[in-house]
């Protein structure tokens, strides 16, 4: 087995997930679906990288990104999330005006220790982040969609930011047997 380079770090994980993608995928051919997802990936990546985040990977109709290495990675992630929210309506309108499918999305954010680095097998290895915050961020996207809201932010992100943007605490949830306090940003 080759050596893998992994380290445990504190990070903020942000996921963007297209709502109702199963229905949309059934309506689009593979080429059109790929083109539309490419536009979605670019839209998200622009907001993430503008605040110093890293796009880790594209997972079907979702984007996994991480903020590591800044003194205030939580604050940087919240700024990126706010950028996404502020640009969301214009992006959706641009798609509608061009007759493209509407790839509306939800966002989830969680923070804590992750294992970051190159994972895989010797012939196929790529950068990834693993840990509870990754799972929570994806689950928060699903919860946001079921609640009919654009995003949910774990208290570990919101309260840990040096200067969080305006936001409100919303109804929490129990995940994996643990109570989780949640916030939403004011847009």
pLDDT in tens, 95-149: 999 999 989 999 999 999 999 999 888 888 899 999 999 999 999 999 999 999 9
Residue 92 maps to a domain: yes
Residue 164 maps to a domain: yes
What does the pLDDT look like over 24-53, one tens digit per residue?
888 888 999 999 999 999 999 999 999 999
The residue segments making up the domain with residue 159 are: 6-185
pTM above 0.85, yes or no: yes
Query: Between vectors from CA 122 to CA 117 and to CA 126, what angle results, nearest 5°?
Result: 35
Query: Between vectors from CA 146 to CA 145 and to CA 147, what angle results, nearest 5°?
Result: 90
Helix and strand counts by DSSP (H, E) for the chain: 5, 8
Q: How many domains does the chain have?
A: 1
Per-residue confidence band for 3, with pLDDT thresholds at 50, 70 and 90: low
3-state secondary structure of 148: coil
Residue 1 maps to a domain: no
The CATH number assigned to the domain holding 134 equals: 3.30.70.1230
């Amino acid at each position: 087995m080759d050596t893998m380079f992994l380290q445990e770090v504190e990070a903020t994980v942000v996921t963007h997930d297209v709502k109702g993608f199963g229905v949309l995928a059934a309506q689009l051919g593979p080429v059109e679906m790929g083109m539309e997802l490419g536009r979605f990936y670019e839209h998200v990546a622009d907001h993430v990288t503008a605040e110093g985040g890293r796009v880790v990977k594209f997972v079907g109709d979702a984007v996994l990104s991480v903020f590591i290495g800044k003194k205030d990675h939580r604050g940087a992630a919240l700024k990126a999330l706010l950028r996404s929210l502020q640009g969301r309506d214009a992006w959706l309108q641009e798609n509608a005006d061009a007759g493209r499918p509407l790839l509306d999305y939800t966002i989830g954010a969680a923070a804590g220790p992750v294992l970051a680095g190159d994972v895989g097998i010797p012939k196929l290895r790529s950068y990834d982040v693993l840990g509870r915050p990754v799972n929570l961020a994806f689950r928060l996207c699903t919860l946001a969609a079921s609640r009919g809201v654009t995003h949910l932010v774990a208290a570990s992100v919101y309260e840990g930011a040096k200067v969080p943007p305006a936001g409100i605490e919303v109804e929490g949830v129990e995940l994996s047997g643990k109570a989780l306090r949640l916030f939403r940003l004011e847009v």
